[in-house]
Structure 1
Amino acid sequence: MPNVTLWDLPGIGTPKFKARTYLRKMQFKVYDFFIIISSERFKENDIMLAKEIKKRKKLFYFVRSKIDNDIRAEETKKGFNREEILSRIKINCLENLKEIENPKVFLISSENIKAFDFENLIETLMSDLPQHKQYALLQSVPITSRAMLQKKVKIFEKVAWAAALCSGAIAAAPVPGLSVACDASILVVFFTKCFYSFGLDDKSLKKLSERINKPELESFIKSPLVVALAAKSTAKLSLSAVAGGAVLEYLCSLIPGVGNAAAAGISFVSTLTLLKNGLKELENAALMVLKEAGLE
């Protein structure tokens, strides 16, 4: 997502980034929130960093990574209990962070993001961020379950209504051909955003395929819209989709006053219908991928 940027900041306390100058060099004021990551216990510098972030009234979260390694190290031992081990790791993290008031700790594995606290982290961020930033965040994260997909779909349903209203407003303007060109652009932009947000692009599918060891997940997708988006032939597809309604719209726009209002109504309804139908098709394609990946 072009409006979401993740900055991987260098570790604090290294020779190049000494603790006393770190905050100034990193320009902390420009970030919305911070995720402090460790694959072992959280160290003194991590705690110091969290305290300084808190002083600046910024949000911060602790992520204990590579949890899959901890599980594998324990699962051969007698009396192995997965939940007990996870509880023990989290308690250990909280003990190390006892100087921080109510620390938020999440256990995560990039090998299997669904298995642990990834969705819990996203839910927490969603509840902490302002609404417009919630939408940006949710659009950018990978889909790990049907519930995550449904959250994204609900956002795009709201966007579809707004886009259709915009289409109607443009159609009311007495400029021949303007509405058709704008409707085509609205469809292309909307479907492209859904396409990437739902993880249907080649890069996302390849990543998921490698993670679950199931090559060529894209071969299970039969959606003509997904194929068109992947081939970047959406302009042709969108123009053909709006062409039918465009003729009636144009004829209505030739009648002063009432005609413009009718054209606006036709444009709103036809654009909203196309957006909803396309969204449903992309949702079904994403569900198919989830099912094949065992994430449904």
Structure 2
Amino acid sequence: MGNLFSRSVDREIREALLNNDEASAAAVLQQYLHEQENIPLNIAVTGETGSGKSTFVNAIRGVGGDAEGAARTGVLETTMEVTPYPHPKFPNVIFWDLPGIGTTDFTAAKYLKLVEFERFDFFVIISDRFRENDVKLAKEIQKKKKKFYFVHSKIDDNIRNERRSQREFSEERTLTQIRETCIQSLQDQGFESPQVFLVSSPDLQQFDFPLLAETLERELPDLKREAFQLAMPNTSLEMIDRKKKAFKSKIKYLATLSAAVAGVPVPGLSFAVDLSLLVGVITRYVFAFGLDISSLKKMSYHSGVPYEELKEVVTSPLAATVLTPALVSNLLVQTASLVALIAAEEGSRFIPILGIPVSMILSFVTIYKALNIFLDVLADDARRVFEKTTLNCRG
């Protein structure tokens, strides 16, 4: 079953199927897939008060500053609080808002012990000017062999201020100067070849955020990488393609789960489980591609494209709606290539001896085809929405 399964899980599933215990195989497979979807990813975000770290935490989670559960912005840090902010749609991805080391009396080593360094997968150090405390913290993280990333926040403010003060303003020249100044400052403090990402939290599509996301994906372990990938906003067409590829790699295992359930001789069970499975998986597709109602409304607000215009470029009835088993069921029976498979699966159950094996094969094919069809359409919708909003912002 490929690299997705550990050897012990693979053995359990195979043994159950060989013993004609499809119910046990389905239970093991369902539990394992659930665990894979909930791999924890803990991201620490630190920086001095006023550096923009809380705004960054909100932006990367797709949460408005005044929304329920948003990280507080513009509040002086006077206590040593480490605050978790789970992603609203992928709660296994948690952003931890850490007070900047400059707000404490601790050394970098004691600071990391106090915030429980070991629980974090990597650190994002945010500043508008990297100071001694930022560097001390980075060096201590480096000693402990964990990843950290320097992010220069509020780059939109820098651009705006430079545009006002210069007669012959050049955005490219300004960005180059800011990046070189940051890198030189870090080199002067002992970093040989630091990388600094210039980010604007109000518009993550601009500047270096897509590069930051790509770098994080590349450097995370496989399962953590996928958790991060799905929780990220669509900042490029390449990001959408990578999400689609990640989802596509799981379809054969989800189809295997459907087949295992189809082998349980209980009338109506297979279709009921398939509907529940499809609703859960498609919901993840919709959330990851930003095609749910709340995400589209946020994109409308930030891009200036009216919400109704965004809905017009969306072709799938699965997007911008409330997903229900009834809706998915209607789509299944309206899809010509699936209707015959569903009917054949149910009919095959009444064939003596061969009925159950045939229904398992048909169930696998049905779910495999259905998920590929729905994924392709939703990924195409995500690309059209991205192009619509990007074109408007550039215009």
Which one of 206, 230, 243 corresponds to residue 297 of structure 2? 206
Distance 2:248 2:227 in 1: 15
Matches within 5 A, 1:186-197: 186-197=277-288
Q: What are the equivalent positions in structure 2 for 1:1-296 lying under 5 Å apart?
A: 1-15=90-104, 18-19=106-107, 21-38=110-127, 40-76=128-164, 77-98=166-187, 99-216=190-307, 218-220=310-312, 221-227=314-320, 230-232=321-323, 234-241=324-331, 244=339, 245-294=341-390
Q: Distance in 2 between matches of 1:224 and 1:107?
A: 38
CA drift at 1:186: 1.4
Shift of 1:295: 5.3
Q: What amino acid is the match of 1:280?
A: D
Contact 1:13 1:19 in 2 (8 A): no
Secondary structure in 1 matching 2:182: helix
Q: Report the count of equivalent residues.
A: 291
After superposition, the C-alpha distances for 1:49-76 in whole angstroms (9 at most, x for unaligned) are: 1111111111100000111121222234
Task: Indicate if the aligned counterparts of 2:342 and 2:366 stay in contact, CA closer than 8 A.
Answer: no
How far apart are residue 257 of structure 1 and its match?
A: 4.3
Distance 2:327 2:353 in 1: 32
Partner of 2:56: none
What amino acid is aligned across from residue 176 of structure 1 in structure 2? P
Unaligned runs of 5+ in 2: 1-89, 334-338
Which residue number corresponds to residue 40 of structure 2? none
TM-score by length of 2: 0.69
SS of structure 1 residue aligned to 2:125: strand
The residue number in structure 1 matching 2:67 is: none
Using the aligned pairs only, state the percent identity.
41
The answer to whether the 8 A contact 1:180-1:242 is kept is no
- Residue deviations 1:258-284 (CA, integer Å, cap 9, x gap): 222211111111111111111122123
Secondary structure, aligned partner of 2:103: coil
Give the C-alpha shift of residue 256 in structure 1: 4.9
Matched letter for residue 260 of structure 1? I
Once residues 216 and 196 of structure 2 are traced to their aligned partners in structure 1, the CA distance between those partners, rounded to angstroms, is 12
Amino acid aligned to 1:191: I
Shift of 1:247: 4.1
Contact kept, 8 Å, 2:315 with 2:377, in 1: the verdict is: no
For residues 199-249 of structure 1, give each alpha carbon's deviation from its aligned partner in whole angstroms, at most 9, with x where no partner exists.
11222222222222233255423531224xx224x2112334557544432
Give the structure 1 partner of residue 46 of structure 2: none
Q: Which runs of 5+ in 1 are unaligned?
A: none
Structure 1 position 191, deviation (Å): 0.6
Measure the CA separation in 1 of the matches of 2:297 and 2:100. 30
Select the structure that is richer in helix. Answer: 1
**Cα distance in 2 for residues equivalent to 1:207 and 1:241:** 27
Residues 65 and 109 of structure 1 are in contact (CA less than 8 Å); yes or no, is this contact kept in structure 2? yes
Q: Is the 8 A contact 1:109 1:116 kept in 2?
A: yes
Query: Is the CA contact (8 Å cut-off) linking 1:183 and 1:242 kept in structure 2?
Result: no
Instruction: Compare relative contact order (CA 8 Å, sep 6+) and give the higher one, 1 or 2.
Output: 1
Equivalent position amino acid for 1:293 in 2? T
When residues 114 and 288 of structure 1 are mapped into structure 2, their CA distance, relative to the original with a 3 A threshold, is: same
Q: Provide the secondary structure at the position in 2 that maps to 1:61.
A: strand
Question: Which shifted more, 211-220 or 166-175?
Answer: 211-220
Contact 1:160/1:272 (<8 A) preserved: yes
Amino acid at match of 1:236: A
TM-score under structure 1 length normalisation: 0.90
Tell me which moved more, 80-89 or 268-277. Answer: 80-89
